[in-house]
Structure 1
Amino acid sequence: MPAPTGDHTGTRIKEQRKLARLTQRQLADQIPYSYSLLNQVECGARPATEEFVNAVARVLRIDVTVLTGLPYTSEAQHKRLALLVRPIREALDLYDLGANPDIVARPAAILIEEADRLCQRVRATHLRSAAADLPGVIAELTHAAWTSQSTPVWQALASTYRTAHDIALKVGFFDLSTVALDRMDWAASRASDPVLAAIRQYKRALGYHKIGAPIVGQRLIASGHSLLNLASSREALVVAGQLHLGASAVAARAGDAGAVATHITAARDVAKRIGGEARDVHWLSFGHANVKLHEMGASVEMRRYDDALVQARKIKLPATMLTSRRARFLVDWAFVEMETGHSESALKHLVEARKAAPEQTRYHPEARETISGLVRKARTTPDTLGHMAAWIGL
């Protein structure tokens, strides 16, 4: 069992609970977890899972990061990440100042290609290198968009904002990810691009799914579909399918198995219509494989771990599957193996996820939760598990 320290999520829950003038018993009565578990979390004897923290944050009406503190990282890691994302934050803040006379932007065609490459690098989980180059590209595209008022340039700018959202989300800066999505909507509206606007609603819905607000998530998914009503292109069809997958995740968080099945079926039908994997559409991973991944993810969300394990062991990912999605699958699989008592398999999949996407895996809360669970369950800590725990910052 990890030794408790003086500053962990449990101590912050205790502090915020007292500020809300609630006893442990009063708080436990308002969350779907026991008084005993709350007591253990607050004293550091048990780790606070993402779902547990979300539930407490909703009751206390505070942002999740108030409780997590440094978002799933050590203080040193957080400081390095803060330095990395600060220029992105500054670039996002200059969106409405018009053309910048101090910038000599590269030709529009080159900038559009660069926006696409940045998105590709994030999908390949090269987060730090993409984050380092992103602010400059945003600045150039912002200048070029205001200067030329070109639809393709506005579209590329919206794409870079989406990339900023993805980076911020993956390294735990949730406030910045929300700002980036607002900027994406701003640029997409100037491009008059309903597909990009629908992708933005999909991303927003997943954000509300994470904090356990399924009704808002459902409304956002519906809004995304309505944006695509007048679009009949293959691109729009792929995004519509992705929205169904997002809806399945939102429904799973609400525990609505019927709605999950409905949306998975709808997404599967779309996948049949397009054929193959649609990696060419805004770097989405939509297709038959991703439908299966979301079906498994819904089982995990609803705590149907035996079902999820059967589904995970049947999934064969295509060689073309994006690295980010492959690594996420391995982390989910590891978590399910851990929950069903297969510690060796869980550790094996975590090691595979680390090899595939070290940056993404290191900052993923479920990877951290799985390693914590394996440490708690182990009578003795194998060297590999010890190395993984140290690497992730436990």
Structure 2
Amino acid sequence: MPDLSRDGVGRRIAYYRSVVRPKMTQQRLADAACVSLGAIRKIERGERGVTDATLEAIAGALAVDPGRLRADRGRAQSTVLAGLPALSAAIAAYDVPDDGPVRRLAELRTAVSGAERWRLAAQYTRVVRDVPGLLTELARAYHRAEGDERRRLAGLLVSAYRSADSVAFKFGALDLSARLVELMRWSVPEAEDPLLAATVAYVRTETFLAAHAYASGLRALEDALAVAPSSGGPPESAMRGALHMRAAVVAGRAGDASTARSHLTQARLLAGQVAEGVYHGTAFGSDSVRVHEVSVAVSLGAEHVGSALDLARDWSPPAELPAERRSGYYIELARAQLWSGLAEHAFESMKIARRIAPQHTREHPWVREDAATLRRLKRADSESLTSFAEWCAAT
């Protein structure tokens, strides 16, 4: 058990409770975290250790990432990497799951929705802790079910695989990520849901991005758009819009400005038909399109960063957008600012990204590259920058 008088976990808990959440008394924190008042008092004074489960409960009550309370900033990364073998084992037995209990369909749907929320919030430690067992249970249920229930379970498998894939991809386990994408593609025909099929096409793009196979990725997205429902309500419009956003980014990475602008135009038109929200696990709306406009400008290269800065002027993504998307916006804005010689602004944007989604920010390769560049240039406060660079393992 750590000595919290040295590592400061208790002090950080007290800070978030009394300064960031000034109306939260120790009693309210204890009630919200389901921890005794005496335990909270001792933890804050550094007189008592705290288990991972208790720390996550306290972090949840404070609405902060557990990593913000830990002294060891590498803990989240270690937890995720340690959990990847269990994830790999769960999908290895996708067609021959072991025997065991299976919850009712409604309970499984709730569990899958919870994993999706953690994914969108960039809470990867929660995903890697909960999803392996969930995947195994879903596989059991799927192979036992028939008819309509089997179809619904196939849809839940797609969503759960997507949550698992987010962790694998973000933490560099690209082979595991590719395998999860293939399992999504295996599950989706059984679900008989064209919008879910479009979702899988959206996610599959990351394998093309990782391989720098932009032409193939763009072709796959355009094929998906050709068969995606073109009429219906907001979910149909949102899914087509999301595919156009994704295609714009891929075209931007390929240096094809004309195609990128064309897809962004289509995405903006569709965003005008729906409210900002999460549709089939993907955020879409006018704010999401604006985030992608910045992303495309950065993807197109240094000569387009002026457009990114113009788009970002007097605007910031609203808090209602998923944390992963908001942090990604600031990561890409930081790159545009760095290329424009605005080093201090770039560092500030990276710090904002860290406050929004520390796990996502820490693992993003651009953050490491740009923090290392700033450190070499010595263009920001050296002590703060050194601490940040060490936190994200910039070299």
TM superposition score normalised by structure 1:
0.76
Secondary structure, in 3 states, of the residue corresponding to 1:95?
coil
Q: Offset of 1:148 from its aligned partner?
A: 1.4
Structure 1 residue aligned with 2:18:
none
Task: Identify the residue that residue 92 of structure 2 maps to in structure 1.
Answer: 93
**What are the residue-to-residue correspondences of 1:146-185 with 2, within 5 Å?**
146-149=143-146, 150=149, 151-185=151-185
Please give the alpha-carbon distance, in whole angstroms, between the structure 2 residues aligned to 1:227 and 1:183: 21
Shift, 1:229, TM fit: 3.9
- Which residue of the partner structure matches residue 83 of structure 1? 82
Shift of 1:144: 0.8
134, 139, 142: which one pairs with 1:142?
A: 139
177 and 301 in structure 1: CA distance in 2 versus 1, 3 angstrom threshold = same
Q: Percent identity?
A: 28
Q: CA deviation at 1:109?
A: 0.6
Q: Which amino acid aligns with 2:176?
A: L
Match of 1:205 in 2: 205
The corresponding residue for 1:133 is: 130
**1:222-301 matched pairs, under 5 angstroms:** 222-229=222-229, 232-274=232-274, 276-279=275-278, 281-301=279-299
Determine the structure 1 residue equivalent to 2:108.
111
Q: Distance in 1 between matches of 2:237 and 2:350?
A: 34
> 1:206·1:250 contact (CA, 8 Å) conserved in 2?
no
Deviation at residue 205 of structure 1 after TM alignment = 2.1
- Report the Cα offset of residue 76 of structure 1: 9.7
CA contact (8 A) 1:164 1:180 kept: yes
Per-residue CA deviation, residues 136-187 of structure 1 (Å, 9 max, x unaligned), is 1111111111111322211111110111111111111111111111111111
Deviation at 1:373, TM superposition (A): 1.1
Tell me the CA shift for residue 297 of structure 1. 0.8
How much has 1:82 moved relative to structure 2? 3.1
Distance, in Å, in 2 between the alignment partners of 1:217 and 1:139 is 30
- For residues 170 and 371 of structure 1, what CA distance do their matches in structure 2 show? 18
Deviation for aligned residue 1:189: 1.2
Farther off after superposition, 336-345 or 127-136: 336-345
Contact 1:202 1:220 in 2 (8 A): no
Check the 8 A contact 2:330/2:350 in 1, yes or no.
Answer: yes
In the alignment, the residues of structure 2 paired with residue 221 and residue 315 of structure 1 have an alpha-carbon distance, to the nearest angstrom, of: 29
> What letter matches 1:120 in structure 2?
R
Contact 2:80 2:128 in 1 (8 A): no
Q: 1:173 to 1:231 in 2, by over 3 A?
A: farther
Give the secondary structure class of the aligned counterpart of 1:291: helix
Paired positions, count = 317
Is residue 277–residue 283 contact of structure 2 (8 Å, CA) maintained in 1? yes
Whichever residue aligns with residue 179 of structure 2, its letter is V
Partner letter of residue 92 of structure 1? I
Cα-to-partner distance string for 1:368-388 (whole Å, 9 max, x where unaligned): 111011012116861110100
Residue 379 and residue 298 in structure 1: after superposition, are their counterparts in 2 closer, same or farther (change >3 A)?
closer
- The code of the aligned residue for 2:133 comes to G
Choose which of 109, 116, 120 in structure 1 pairs with 2:117.
120
Distance 1:379 1:231 in 2: 51
Secondary structure of 1:285's aligned partner: strand
CA distance in 2, matches of 1:379, 1:292: 29
Structure 1 vs Structure 2 CA RMSD: 2.1
Q: Report the counterpart of residue 193 of structure 2 in structure 1.
A: 193
Structure 2: segments with no counterpart, 5+ residues: 1-72
Paired residue type of 2:88: R
Amino acid at match of 2:294: M
Secondary structure, counterpart of 2:313 in structure 1: helix
Letter in 2 for 1:86: P
**Greater RCO (CA < 8 Å, at least 6 residues apart):** 1
Q: Return the TM-score normalized by structure 2.
A: 0.76
Q: 1:199 touches 1:224 (CA, 8 Å); kept in 2?
A: no
Instruction: Report SS of the residue matched to 2:176.
Output: helix
Larger deviation: 117-126 or 223-232? 223-232
Gaps of 5+ in 1: 1-73
